[in-house]
Chain A
């Protein structure tokens, strides 16, 4: 593997006295799509939030493009090109679609308009609804808005947290198609998913989390083929 764009070593995250994440290490190669899969409560989101600066790591080192970013606050990371699409979409329901998008370009004053235009081109439905309150969008549209909003921040690496959550299977297809597109533009993607099968099918490399620890890792297709992994740790069959 070439020099990873993102590396995590020995990460530990606590909530009060509860250890949510223990000694997690992984690497993400530039331009790749890496997925963290695991059941609800396995600690996937905690890992992602620690990387994106929303949570303080108790222990461990996180590097982005060679720099130690462990203690960087979220806004600095976004500016540096590490952008997260949060779980639950977190769109701002009382703001319009256009306002939501411009918030994505908080640190991109000069290129904001170009980026928004680009996003409207890719997601015509958002252009149609740009003056609507974001809360009035359907779930799938909201997810697209959330992703689009992140793209406006010009991410070098995009962290996606459960993008298929709460969406009908057809919409999930669309979301994964968008992820694939993003990846083709050269943006590195870290995808956290409960929908292990879908995620592994799309990814280059996968890590399996269970109760805060990485229990399996490997090229995604190998994990996908490893029925034992799927059965034992993901509760799928």
Chain B
């Protein structure tokens, strides 16, 4: 049971990152590799806010959400929008978002230095709870709850809200969306803003959970999150959650039964197998894209 719960909690972190990631990937069909930098920025800026202003955690989350949203809009404006209409937009967006992420990280280093930073020890009292004979921390439970509720809220948002309808319209046919009077630019921006807001909050929660934030944390999770969104299903929000949990449990099982040195092999092996064993069409109706 402990194993299983450990896996679930580990996976919920992956899922948290992946949900924001897959929102842009799945809906706008763009792979935003600056997402890892946003994750890091959310963590570091969150620490800064708490250290400077001493705000409590429940106030921090909305502040970081706003910060992440602003970053998302910048990413869309700077790294993606200028590429609109280019035949290699997918591919160029990959590179331009890498560049954007690199710039963001070096600016973060300029502001906060390269040292690992942490939240002040008293921001979230570690409480341990016994569930079904296993020990878990309250924070982990909170993160799991946040992941699940974000997934539900977002799924609802995409499926039912006007914004979500706009997103799906753009995903299916951006040209038709423009004809219908949808402000394609604004909806794209909003999607990026949502995605990055989630990414930034994920960074804060992640940092709270492991008590360490350095410039490299986003990078470490990024590859796993890629695995998660492929395993869970490209662009599917519930898939991102389930994929995250599967991966988390698989890794924990790998640690216990295969050997911890091969743990990361599990993530990539799983990713590789899924890609090979299931024709890419199964992940969605999306056609192949030119890269």
Contact = CB atoms under 8 A, between A and B. Distances in A.
Let me know if chains A and B touch directly in the complex, using CB atoms closer than 8 Å.
Answer: yes
Interface of A: 52-54, 73-75, 77-79, 83-84, 86, 90-95, 99, 102-104, 106-107, 149, 153
B183 interface: yes
Given A84-B179, A95-B172, 13 more contacts: A52-B179, A73-B183, A90-B173, A90-B175, A90-B176, A92-B173, A94-B285, A95-B165, A99-B165, A103-B166, A103-B180, A106-B166, A106-B180
A92 B169 contact: yes
B175 A75 contact: no
A222 B162 CA distance: 47
A106 B172 contact: no
Nearest to B175: A90
Interface string B167-187: 011001101101111111100
Contacts of A149: 180
Taking each of A54, A94, A153, which has the highest tally of chain B beta carbons within 10 Å of its own beta carbon? A94
B166 A94 contact: no
Contacts, number: 60
- Tell me the dominant secondary structure on chain B's binding face: helix
Nearest to A107: B181
Interface of B: 162, 165-166, 168-169, 172-173, 175-176, 178-185, 285
Contacts of B183: 73, 75
Contact of B179 (A54, A79, A94, A99): A54
B182 A103 contact: yes
A104 B172 CA distance: 15
Given A86-B176, A90-B179, A75 B184 contact: yes
Contact of A92 (B172, B178, B181, B285): B172
25 contacts: A73-B183, A73-B185, A74-B181, A75-B184, A77-B181, A78-B179, A78-B180, A90-B173, A90-B175, A90-B176, A92-B172, A93-B172, A94-B172, A94-B285, A95-B168, A95-B172, A99-B165, A103-B165, A103-B166, A104-B180, A106-B166, A106-B181, A106-B182, A107-B181, A153-B181
B172 A86 contact: no
B169 A103 contact: yes
A83 B172 CA distance: 20
Contacts of B173: 90, 92
Question: Which of A52, A53, A103, A149 has the most CB atoms of chain B within a 10 A radius of its CB?
Answer: A103
A52 to B, nearest CB: 7
A74 B187 CA distance: 14
A79 B180 CA distance: 10
The CB with the most chain A CB atoms within 10 A, among B168, B169, B178, B285, is that of B178
Contacts of B285: 94
Q: Which 3 A-B pairs have the closest CB atoms?
A: A78-B181, A90-B176, A75-B183
Contacts of B176: 86, 90-92
Given A54-B175, A86-B175, A95 B180 contact: no
A93 B179 CA distance: 15
Which of A83, A86, A99, A104 is most buried by chain B, counting CB atoms within 10 A of its CB?
A86
A87 B176 CA distance: 10
A73 B166 CA distance: 17
Nearest to A52: B179
Nearest to B180: A103
Nearest to B183: A75
A74 B172 contact: no
A54 B179 CA distance: 7
A20 B176 CA distance: 21
Nearest to B172: A92
A13 to B, nearest CB: 14
Nearest to A91: B176
B108 to A, nearest CB: 34
| Residue in B168, B172, B181 whose Cβ sees the most chain A Cβ within 10 Å | B181
A17 B178 CA distance: 24
Nearest to A79: B181
A206 to B, nearest CB: 24
Nearest to B181: A78
A95 B167 CA distance: 12
Nearest to A102: B165
Contacts of A79: 181
Contacts of A86: 175-176, 179
Q: Which of B166, B180, B184 has the most CB of A within 10 A?
A: B180
A104 B182 CA distance: 9
A83 B169 contact: no
Nearest to B285: A94
A74 B165 contact: no
